[in-house]
Amino acid sequence: MQLETSDRILSHSPSLLETYYKDDAQPQNSSWNGTVSSNGGMSSQFMYKVNVSHGQLLDLTGNPVDINSWSFPIQANWNWVPFPVSANVQVNAALASFNAQDGNVIKSQNLFAIYDAVSGWSGTLNYLVEGQGYMLKSSDNQTLVYPNYFGRFTSDSNSIAEQRVIASEFAQYAENMNAVVLMPSGYDNLFVYDANGIVKGQVTSQNVGDNELSFITIYGDLPEALIFHIGNASETKPTTKVFSFKSNQVLGTIADPVILEDEMLYGITVFPNPFENHLNLKVNSKQSQMVSVQIHNMLGQVVFSDEISVEEGENDLRIVPNLSLGAYFLNVNVNNNTSVFRVIKN
């Protein structure tokens, strides 16, 4: 691998840490050191988190795991679970021996599935992928084994590759949490933004039973206030649902999801959308203040910015951004809160 000083490997239960030292003057002296090495090295009995300075492919060498004799002790609550199987297996098949209960969760870095007695495993995580590691939340202690008839459950490489990709804007975050959300009628896109208008998660909803549910992974590092936004082909707008980021927390279940109402936060209306030359904003302000209006392109770059004075109560504003045709995000900061709307220039 292409390694740098302070690249590291971490396991859990027991917690083991290995760090890399790179000696540029004498490369032969570069080495890994830590409690992974002092406890026998890497093992198929553990899932590892790896932090490296350079994105790259990792080639593993060694003997294939005999899955017929392999087992893993599951503890109640979260477990770091390896998947040392030479196949990509559907979640329901891979976890056939797991005594799942309502609300149990399995997740990767960017996808997750949650168990329901009626629907089985549902969510954005459809396959367990060869050589990957997962976090599994269990209701009780038990022993996990993987069935030995995996050959029937391989999938095409394209669908697996799509599951493994983490969007660049989320790859910087070390932690995540998840939520199961019931979408209001007419909306199929769910977003999470922080107070600064930075997106911390997004997903398209899916049908589970009679409900339109969104299974969203939310990224972060520290506790902070976050806001759910709903969207469709023409608009994105905030809801009244505010929550706090907490690593590994799961909000809602399939039977009892988080419910979002079709109502706007902070009294902001944006129209027309799509627009040609100008955008009208109705802003309900708690006091006389300056309202910050910014437009970002899909790369997150600011392409329009303005500060507009408003009075207490309802204000009618108009902006005339000189933009190319396409989709943008409009950020409006009023009453010390930022609302984000998806707008389209025709």
As a whole number, mean pLDDT of residues 176-205 equals 91
3-state DSSP assignment of residue 33: strand
Let me know: does 285 contact 313? Beta carbons within 8 Å.
Answer: yes
pLDDT: which is higher, 209 or 32 = 32
Topology (CATH) of 268-345:
Immunoglobulin-like (2.60.40)
The pLDDT of residue 158: 52
Instruction: Please state, in angstroms and as integers, the Cα–Cα distance from residue 272 to each residue in 91, 146, 233, following that order.
Output: 44, 54, 14
CATH 2.60.40.3080 residue ranges of the chain are: 268-345
User: Nearest Cα to 255, choosing from 182, 326, 338?
Assistant: 182
Report d(CA 29, CA 24) in Å as an integer.
Answer: 9
DSSP secondary structure code for residue 298 in this structure: T
pLDDT: which is higher, 111 or 198 = 111
Report d(CA 282, CA 92) in Å as an integer.
Answer: 48
The pLDDT of residue 277: 92
If you write DSSP's letter for every residue of 245-295 in order, what string do you get? Answer: --TT-EE--SSS-EE--S--STTEEEESSSBSS-EEEEEEESSSEEEEEEE
Tens-place pLDDT, residues 112-170:
999 999 999 999 999 998 888 999 999 999 999 998 765 444 455 555 655 667 888 89
One-letter amino acid at 8 equals R
The pLDDT of residue 172: 87
DSSP secondary structure code for residue 119 in this structure: T
Per-residue burial over 41-75, b if 16 or more Cβ lie within 10 Å, else e, is ebebebbbeeebeeeeeeeeeeeebebeebebebe
Strand pairing category for 313-319 and 302-310: unpaired
As a whole number, mean pLDDT of residues 233-259 equals 88
The pLDDT of residue 165: 76
Tens-place pLDDT, residues 286-310:
889 999 999 988 777 899 999 999 9
As a whole number, mean pLDDT of residues 266-276 equals 82
Least reliable range by pLDDT among 23-27, 62-66, 195-199, 228-232:
195-199
One-letter amino acid at 7 equals D
The pLDDT of residue 149: 67
As a whole number, mean pLDDT of residues 65-92 equals 91
pLDDT value at 18 more than 80: yes
Least reliable range by pLDDT among 72-81, 160-169, 202-211, 258-267:
258-267
pLDDT: which is higher, 199 or 197 = 199
* CATH-assigned architecture of domain 175-259: Sandwich (2.60)
Tens-place pLDDT, residues 169-187:
898 898 999 999 999 888 9
The pLDDT of residue 151: 45
The pLDDT of residue 87: 83
Report d(CA 12, CA 34) in Å as an integer.
Answer: 14
- In the numeric block, the tokens 């394209």 are attached to 158
Output the pTM of the full model.
0.75
3-state DSSP assignment of residue 151: helix
Report d(CA 116, CA 256) in Å as an integer.
Answer: 10
- Other beta carbons within 10 angstroms of residue 207's beta carbon come to 9
Let me know: does 198 contact 225? Beta carbons within 8 Å.
Answer: no
Bridge partners for 50 per DSSP = 9
- In the numeric block, the tokens 């549910």 are attached to 213
The pLDDT of residue 68: 87
Q: Which two tokens stand for residue 137?
A: 């939340």
As a whole number, mean pLDDT of residues 311-321 equals 93
User: Nearest Cα to 285, choosing from 312, 249, 321?
Assistant: 312
pLDDT: which is higher, 266 or 94 = 94
74: enclosing H helix or E strand:
strand 72-74
Bridge partners for 242 per DSSP = 227
pLDDT: which is higher, 61 or 295 = 295
User: Nearest Cα to 342, choosing from 193, 166, 124, 167?
Assistant: 193
As a whole number, mean pLDDT of residues 24-52 equals 93
3-state DSSP assignment of residue 7: coil
Q: What is the CA radius of gyration of the chain?
A: 24
